[in-house]
């Protein structure tokens, strides 16, 4: 299938999903408390079969889900994405026992998952993380340190935690652990952030883990983290595209009916040209997201570069589109509860999480130089 074209069945499914999100998920999202996990919303996502679909489909399908949900209900999109991010390492690298215990509950929305990578001193530089996994006999460790800016913390039921098992080894000395939230020594506090997502801090005070908790292999956890991010980065772009499309739709409606300077806003060239630019950038970002997701599904060699490009372009584009939409709506868009006020708070975070825009540029450059021969001096 060409990366720039969707099958009619996919287009129809996206339209159905947008309608479902507006009619069934939006009311549940409105009843939730900002900054906290919305378990009824998760249960409904499970009932609709969308959470189970996280583990039975590819990157393009994930992008279509995230874009469609974001266009109608960003809270539902985020709830779905965080379940996938936290549980994908279990799906891809977990033992049969780990998968059997947790994946059915993640799929029906009864267990909340979280991806615990970032630390106070290791956000964008994930290889520099310092949460210590101190050995305590064969196949046993104690986790000591802190994680910060962890989505779904401290309300998750389990965490995919990345800890340093070999000091001084950089990316090669990191191990991924599945840590249930009720382990002794694990505590957390919520963080009050600009975006209305559930985000918190975790503190590990000699938290016990064993070989049965390892995801993948000891000292190979960095590959677990990067593999997860390579899958989810294009879909972060899809989330951004969904928000941009929602902002564009609102702007088209507003400028079509808003009277100003003796006519409609849409009749002013400066306004219509801005709207055209919003549409142009949104479509370009959408196509790059689909191309990156298709490359992932086909096992292409340049997935890290494509994923970074898709996330970078889409998140920067969404920031531009939402900001322009606010400007064209005027003061009404700044009122608490307005769609664009909500999107304005939502759209800023994706330029930072799962690798800030600067990190994406670094990945792109590294991949470009790695695949080109050195020219003459």
Which residues are designated catalytic? 354
Q: What is the rounded CA–CA span in Å between residue 373 and residue 32?
A: 54
DSSP strand pairing (214-215 vs 174-180): antiparallel
Cis, bond preceding 195 (omega within 30 deg of 0): no
DSSP assignment string, 174-220: EEEEEEETTSTTEEEEE---SS-S-EEEEEEEEEEEEGGGEESSTTB
Structural contact between residues 114 and 158, judged by C-beta atoms closer than 8 angstroms? yes
Closest CA to 129 of 154, 153, 158, 165: 165
The strand pairing partners of 141, in sequence order, are 135, 209
Tell me the two tokens of residue 124.
């964008």
Q: What is the rounded CA–CA span in Å between residue 164 and residue 181?
A: 19
- CA-derived radius of gyration, the chain: 21
Which letter does DSSP use for residue 156 in this model? Answer: -
Closest CA to 86 of 231, 219, 184: 231
Q: What is the rounded CA–CA span in Å between residue 43 and residue 50?
A: 10
Give SS3 for 159: strand
Q: What is the rounded CA–CA span in Å between residue 275 and residue 148?
A: 38
Closest CA to 240 of 347, 95, 156: 347
**Positive or negative: CA dihedral 248, 254, 256, 261:** negative
DSSP strand pairing (158-164 vs 113-116): parallel
How open is the CA angle 357-90-99, to the nearest 5 degrees? 160
């Amino acid at each position: 299938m060409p990366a720039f074209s969707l099958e009619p069945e996919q287009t129809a499914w996206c339209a159905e999903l947008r309608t479902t999100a507006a009619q069934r998920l939006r009311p549940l999202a409105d009843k939730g408390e900002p900054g906290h996990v919305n378990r009824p919303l998760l249960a409904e996502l499970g009932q609709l079969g969308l959470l189970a679909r996280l583990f039975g489909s590819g990157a393009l399908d994930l992008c279509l889900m995230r874009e469609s949900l974001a266009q109608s209900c960003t809270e539902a999109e985020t709830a779905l994405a965080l379940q996938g991010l936290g549980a994908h390492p279990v799906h891809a690298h977990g033992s049969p026992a780990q998968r059997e215990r947790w994946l059915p509950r993640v799929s029906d929305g009864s267990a909340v998952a979280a991806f615990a990578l970032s630390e106070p001193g290791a956000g964008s530089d994930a290889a520099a993380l310092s949460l210590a996994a101190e050995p305590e006999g064969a196949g046993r460790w104690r986790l000591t340190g802190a994680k910060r800016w962890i989505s779904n913390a401290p309300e998750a039921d389990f965490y995919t935690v990345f800890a340093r098992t070999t000091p001084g080894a950089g990316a090669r000395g990191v191990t991924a652990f599945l840590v249930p939230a009720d382990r002794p020594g694990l505590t957390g506090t919520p963080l009050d952030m600009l975006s209305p997502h559930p985000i918190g801090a975790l503190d590990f005070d000699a938290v016990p883990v064993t070989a049965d908790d390892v995801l993948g292999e000891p000292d190979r956890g960095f590959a677990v983290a990067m593999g997860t991010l390579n899958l989810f980065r294009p879909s972060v772009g899809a989330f951004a595209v969904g928000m941009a499309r929602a902002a564009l739709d609102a702007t088209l409606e507003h400028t079509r009916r808003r009277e100003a300077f003796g006519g409609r806003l849409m009749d002013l060239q400066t306004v219509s040209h801005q709207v055209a630019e919003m549409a142009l950038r949104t479509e370009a970002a959408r196509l790059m997201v689909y191309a990156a997701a298709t490359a992932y599904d086909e096992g292409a060699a340049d997935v890290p570069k494509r994923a970074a490009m898709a996330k970078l372009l889409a998140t920067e584009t969404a920031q531009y589109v939402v900001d322009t939409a606010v400007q064209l709506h005027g003061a009404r868009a700044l009122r608490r509860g307005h769609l664009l006020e909500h999107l304005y708070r939502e759209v800023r975070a994706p330029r930072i999480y799962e690798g800030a825009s600067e990190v994406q540029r670094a990945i792109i450059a590294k991949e470009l130089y790695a695949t080109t021969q050195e020219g003459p001096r």
